[in-house]
Structure 1
Amino acid sequence: MPKSTFRCAKVAARTSAPQRTRLRAAALAAVVLSLLLTACGGGAAGNGDDGKKVVLTTFTVLADVARNVAGDKLTVESITKAGAEIHGYEPTPGDIRKASKADLILDNGLNLEAWFAQFVEGLDVPHAVVSEGVEPMNISEDAYQGKPNPHAWMSPLNVQVYVDNMVKAFSELDPDNAEAFKANGDAYKAELQAVQDQMTTRLAGVPEAQRALVTCEGAFSYLARDAGLKELYIWAVNAEQQATPQQITRAIEYVKANNVPAVFCESTVSDAPMQQVVGATGAKFGGTLYVDSLSEADGPVPTYLDLIRHDADVITKALTGAGS
């Protein structure tokens, strides 16, 4: 059987359990089937307009890291845009078409992109999980208890592992430029270590009594671990339903009991639940932190290194009162 015919049969036969709701999964499956059956009739070449091979990442943070490793040898794109909420993202037909034309797809893994797994398996495109080899921290509460916390990139130490995985994947994709990928990766890992050291030094200045990081999502476990901060969050992982009365009450009680001076929320979700905590406790809203997405180029965190610097600065100033 010709390869293209096999791919069509595979896609048509494959079924998957709904990741979020039955309606969403059914709609996505229909889109995937339509696009991939069309692709079986003759797809476009994977190379970009400039002749370089195309690497597609699931979100903007990975794209920035990948560009540092790829240099000018590959074209790197993100399937999601700046400001997108990664957990509940719903792929469009254009996203799937773009993925079918890529030469390599990178995703974070650790159950972050359940939405992407629904169609990536049906694509005849190499795929690499960049968190492979990272020691995950498990979520300790809510419906996700015992599952790995997917936000491993919030530790620059972990991102050094991401870089090694990217170097390997890029070298397999484009062997002629393997030495360049290795050199780029080594240089970027040095920058990651410098930012890690800056972050931990900066947060070490927070007095022991104020070393509590209270956020909307439990996305800062790796950062809190590295910086020696206690962590509490309203919900574990961004989902369709979040911020129950019980979760908000728990956060209020924690902030009161520990005299937490400031609380935070992430850029991709509403801070309304955390503002309820602020109103009930007198704690200050310390500011917006970035996790799942970079900002636009003219925003506060256009790169991953900027994201870590920004978050460390906002947390330190709010918990010490330096930003008042």
Structure 2
Amino acid sequence: MTSHSESTYFTRRQALIGASGVAFGLAGCLGDDPQANSNPSGDDSSDSFTVFATMPAVWDFVRQVAGEHMDVIDLVPVGEHGHDWNPEPGTVRDLDEADGFVYLRDFSSWQDDAATQLREDGDIVVIEASQGIEFFDSPAEDDDEHWWMDPLECQTGVLNIAEGISEIDPEHADDYMANAESFNEELQALHEDFEAIVDQAALNSIVVATHDSFQWWNRRYGIDIYSPVGTSPDDAASPQDVQEIEELIEEFDIEHVLYDVGEPSPLAESLANEVGADILPLSPVETQIDGSPDIDPTVEMKPDWGYIDHFRQLNLPSISTALKSEEQ
């Protein structure tokens, strides 16, 4: 099982799409890109399996389960927001170079379309990481699909992935299940630490001034999450929305405005300035960044961060500060 502290962390593929916009040819690129190889053993055996993942959180789940037996590639380039990114024409055709395709249902239409087409072609194993996870009508949207923000729900997704890649490589099925169980222990510990922060908090409300991917925290931990933007990265806040948020900040004595590290965040800055609040980063684990978000040079991120890193480096510290947990 891969530890999150190991220097041999599998790195993600930074560019799958040619600059000209022409559909890329995956078969010719994988061998030339050192970031496409997620096998820490350095084994260059030609019989290695390749699995494509459709956004950063899923990519990390797959590589944690696959361990040394598979190359795991995130289709979303570094710096792109997983919810807003769309592949170039021809991408789905080229996915048949892989042995497996792991996706999230109802997250983005291209993923569902690709899964349907690949199943019809029957050449690779298609794995729905969300299988068996029930979406719910959150305060932000109906059928809120952001289950990976809940470390407990993630454990189901990880087991789904273990079963799926075992179909690709039955010989190492026991290893995949052992890796999944080990990683789920890390997710359980993460959940318990998150729960402890909320239990010790002086507040139970936060303001997120970018799109709202975080309502599964409301369901799991009881945090009230307010956003003037909504769930789409392309949504814009109206003056009335902003005024209502400003009133909530004053009513609840909120001292911080949070933002999604993967999005342009002028609203977060302007709102914080207007109410005299500080800004804090949150990650929905949908974007990998090499360096700092534009809004905040004090935050330093790495493109090979995994799910646990996003939570322990960004989310838990920010939630602790925003909810004034340290004051209890």
Q: Which TM-score bucket, shorter chain as reference?
A: 0.7 to 0.9
CA contact (8 A) 1:56 1:77 kept: yes
From 297, 306, 309, the equivalent of 1:306 is 309
How far apart, in 2, do the equivalents of 1:322 and 1:190 lie?
A: 26
How far apart, in 2, do the equivalents of 1:211 and 1:159 lie?
A: 23
Partner of 1:127: 126
Is the aligned partner of 1:225 residue 2:219? Answer: yes
Query: Could you say if the C-alpha distance between residues 118 and 138 of structure 1 is closer, same or farther in structure 2, counting changes exceeding 3 Å?
Result: same
1:231 aligned counterpart, secondary structure: strand
Partner of 2:267: 273
The one-character-per-residue Cα deviations of 1:180-238 (angstroms, maximum 9, x if unpaired) are 1111111111111111111211332221xx22121122211122333331111122222
Partner of 1:212: 205
Partner of 1:317: 321
How far apart, in 2, do the equivalents of 1:254 and 1:137 lie?
A: 25
CA contact (8 A) 2:227 2:245 kept: yes
Partner of 2:95: 99
2:228 aligned counterpart, secondary structure: strand
Query: Could you say if the C-alpha distance between residues 213 and 98 of structure 1 is closer, same or farther in structure 2, counting changes exceeding 3 Å?
Result: farther
1:249 aligned counterpart, secondary structure: helix
By percentage of residues, which structure has more helix? 1
How far apart, in 2, do the equivalents of 1:55 and 1:169 lie?
A: 11
How far apart, in 1, do the equivalents of 2:99 and 2:239 lie?
A: 46
Identical positions, percent: 22
1:55 aligned counterpart, secondary structure: strand
Partner of 2:77: 81
CA contact (8 A) 2:198 2:323 kept: no
What one-letter code is carried by the residue in structure 1 that aligns with 2:152?
L
Equivalent runs, 1:13-52 vs 2, <5 Å? 50-52=46-48
Count of equivalent residues: 278
Cα distance, 1:60 vs structure 2: 1.5
The one-character-per-residue Cα deviations of 1:72-103 (angstroms, maximum 9, x if unpaired) are 11111100023321222121257445423111
CA contact (8 A) 2:205 2:223 kept: yes
Query: Could you say if the C-alpha distance between residues 322 and 275 of structure 1 is closer, same or farther in structure 2, counting changes exceeding 3 Å?
Result: farther
CA RMSD of aligned residues (A): 3.0
Partner of 1:244: 238
How far apart, in 2, do the equivalents of 1:266 and 1:211 lie?
A: 19
Greater shift, 187-196 or 301-310, is seen at 301-310
Greater shift, 288-297 or 303-312, is seen at 288-297
Partner of 1:262: 256
How far apart, in 2, do the equivalents of 1:85 and 1:174 lie?
A: 31
The one-character-per-residue Cα deviations of 1:42-89 (angstroms, maximum 9, x if unpaired) are x99x99874211111101111111111111111111000233212221
Is the aligned partner of 1:137 residue 2:139? Answer: no
From 282, 306, 323, the equivalent of 1:289 is 282
Cα distance, 1:262 vs structure 2: 1.2
1:251 aligned counterpart, secondary structure: helix
How far apart, in 2, do the equivalents of 1:74 and 1:288 lie?
A: 32
Q: TM-score, normalised by structure 2?
A: 0.75
What one-letter code is carried by the residue in structure 2 that aligns with 1:134?
I
Greater shift, 177-186 or 123-132, is seen at 123-132
CA contact (8 A) 2:104 2:111 kept: no
Q: TM-score, normalised by structure 1?
A: 0.76
Query: Could you say if the C-alpha distance between residues 53 and 84 of structure 1 is closer, same or farther in structure 2, counting changes exceeding 3 Å?
Result: same
How far apart, in 1, do the equivalents of 2:234 and 2:217 lie?
A: 25
Is the aligned partner of 1:203 residue 2:198? Answer: yes
Query: Could you say if the C-alpha distance between residues 314 and 302 of structure 1 is closer, same or farther in structure 2, counting changes exceeding 3 Å?
Result: same
CA contact (8 A) 1:151 1:222 kept: yes
Partner of 1:108: 104
The one-character-per-residue Cα deviations of 1:126-156 (angstroms, maximum 9, x if unpaired) are 3221111223232335xxx42x222111111
